[in-house]
Amino acid sequence: MSDLKFVDQMKHETFDAHELSKDSGFAQNIMGGLWSPVAFVEWQRALYPVYVMLEDILMKNRKDPVLNMFDHRKLDRRDKIFSDLSFYGVDPVVDPSRLPAVTAYIEAVYQAGSSPQRIMAYHYTRYMGDMIGGQVISRCLSEKYDMSPESLTCYDFSAIGDIFHYRKTYKNLLNNVSWTEDERRAFIEEVKVAYTVNANLFEELYVLLSEMHKEDR
């Protein structure tokens, strides 16, 4: 590792992988107001089983000393996503997303479950992403598509208190976690995988939503 703090080093090494999702056509279209709430519904329908897998693994490994420092049920998103989808009359269990990228994403999380460092990569990319970017996304969807707070509870992290303080504490913990160099490397490499499977999901969502909105014209 370099002289950078661990989190800064991780962000530097995973920057390109992160940008794949951030600059995707799906992200640009949904944030640009070019689609409809259907785009959000398909997005959350796709993410629901990912969170189910992640949160099941976290629960099973809650006694791990490192995971125990970061994880608690106030972060859980599965019930919130289910509630948001129910608002639009969608049951993600009865009628799940059938995108191949969803299966690949779930498998990546499942495989990472054998290692605390690797599963932490999904803890970080999912929860921190929803917490930080989610506030911007929530405001944007409300403004662009007139979506109500009741349909966007997946971005509600009020249960954890002050988000700025939580993020700062999370970063400090991650910088000082007692992992070996190999364990830190495993975390960084899995963060790259996490960003990649998310980018692949965005690609498939872009194709799906483009076709759906083409048919609506």
pLDDT at 116 over 90: yes
pLDDT of residue 110: 98
Domain boundaries, the chain: 36-209
Residue pair 39/90 in contact (Cβ under 8 Å)? The answer is no
Both tokens of residue 86? 């129910």
Least confident of 1-10, 174-183, 188-197: 1-10
Q: State yes or no: pLDDT of 1 exceeds 70.
A: no
Domain 36-209 falls in which CATH fold?
Answer: Heme Oxygenase; Chain A (1.20.910)
Which residue in 145, 48, 139 sits closest to 90, CA to CA? Answer: 48
pLDDT at 192: 97
pLDDT by residue (tens digit) across 22-77?
889 999 999 999 999 999 999 999 999 999 999 999 999 989 999 999 998 999 99
Asked whether the whole model's pTM tops 0.85, one would answer yes
216 versus 16: which is more confidently predicted? 16
